[in-house]
Amino acid sequence: MADDTLQYGTADTISTDHLTQLNGSPVTQTPTSPKAQRVKVGYGDDGSLRDVSPLFPLPVAPGQSADIPLVINSLAPTTAVDCLGYRWVSVQMTAGYVGMTSLTVQVSNDGTTWFSMVLTPTSSGTTGITSSIGIAAGLFHGPISGRYIRFNPAGTYSSGSCTLLVQLSTIPLVMNSQGVSANISSVSSAIFPAVGLSTFVIGTAAGNAFQTRQTGSADQATTTFMALVSGQMMYITELHWSVWGAGSTDRQLVLVSNGSPLGQQDIYMNANKSDSRVFRNPWKPASATGIALNYSVTSVGAAAGNWFVVAHGYYAAS
């Protein structure tokens, strides 16, 4: 907007602008054509004003929060807490009462039908999210996935009570954990199939994705990496490998189809390095069903150090 001026009274001049469009429609310019007054956004305490600029942006009010104490001294679920307008919950609890075995977080949209909701403990960056926050003192948090939230104890009730301090926030926070079910080093059993060292037979388990690994320290003569059952074809999407350990030497990895000239991958594995190969189009190393994928590892010089290779992919009929 280009500034024009408009005299107001005898002392003040107002900055205005002739309008050529109003609400998206053209405006005919006449001596009485409309003008818009220039408005400068500002903020400040009573009696002071600070113009909004890139150096002084408009302040944003912090998110609102509510602290709600809940006392549990029976086997009955707590009163439902209405979370309308809130996006995050933080729950601090004291130790459970005598006889309590667990305390489950539940959520509902209608306040009648309840479902488990998971939260993350603040005490660990690797412990998984859980709907049961246990019976020991702790602090848990997470996004709110429904209108109402409550806490349902289990076990028996003998005596005492436990107190929950439920804090609701309008601004979602950042999770302090990855939310995995266990330490990252032990989650291989959750991968289909589990990372293994023996030959993986394609097409004998549920699902059609695989991740399998071979590892060693000495050179490896040609052996079977993966085998196909009749009617299945393998498609490899990624290969990952690493060589490490004292005195490690470079290795040469060869992946080749047994009896098929179509598929072979020659990979140079540098000592004390990890690398990978991602196939833009899945690598189909066999020309017919029932053909195995073999591998061999040879050293450049005397064999020393450890190595592994991991293959990711899927299998399908033809």
- Give the residue extent of every domain in the chain: 4-51, 65-169, 188-316
On whether the CB atoms of residues 96 and 68 are closer than 8 A, the answer is no
On whether the CB atoms of residues 292 and 222 are closer than 8 A, the answer is no
Q: Residue 187: what pLDDT? A: 38
Q: Which residues of the chain have pLDDT under 50?
A: 1-2, 177-192, 194
Q: How many other C-beta atoms can be found within 10 angstroms of the C-beta atom of residue 131?
A: 16
Q: DSSP per residue over 29-69, as a string?
A: --TT--EEE----EE-STT--EE--SSSPPP-PPPPEEEEE
Q: Which fold has domain 188-316?
A: Jelly Rolls (2.60.120)
β-bridge mates for residue 254, sequence order: 266, 296
On whether the CB atoms of residues 126 and 182 are closer than 8 A, the answer is yes
Strand-pair category, 25-26 with 4-8 = unpaired
Q: Residue 197: what pLDDT? A: 62
Fold equal for 65-169 and 188-316: yes
d(Cα 109, Cα 115) in Å, to the nearest integer?
A: 10
Q: Residue 153: what pLDDT? A: 93
Q: Does domain 65-169 have CATH number 2.60.40?
A: no
Q: Residue 217: what pLDDT? A: 86
Structure tokens at 10: 């005898």
Q: Residue 51: what pLDDT? A: 85
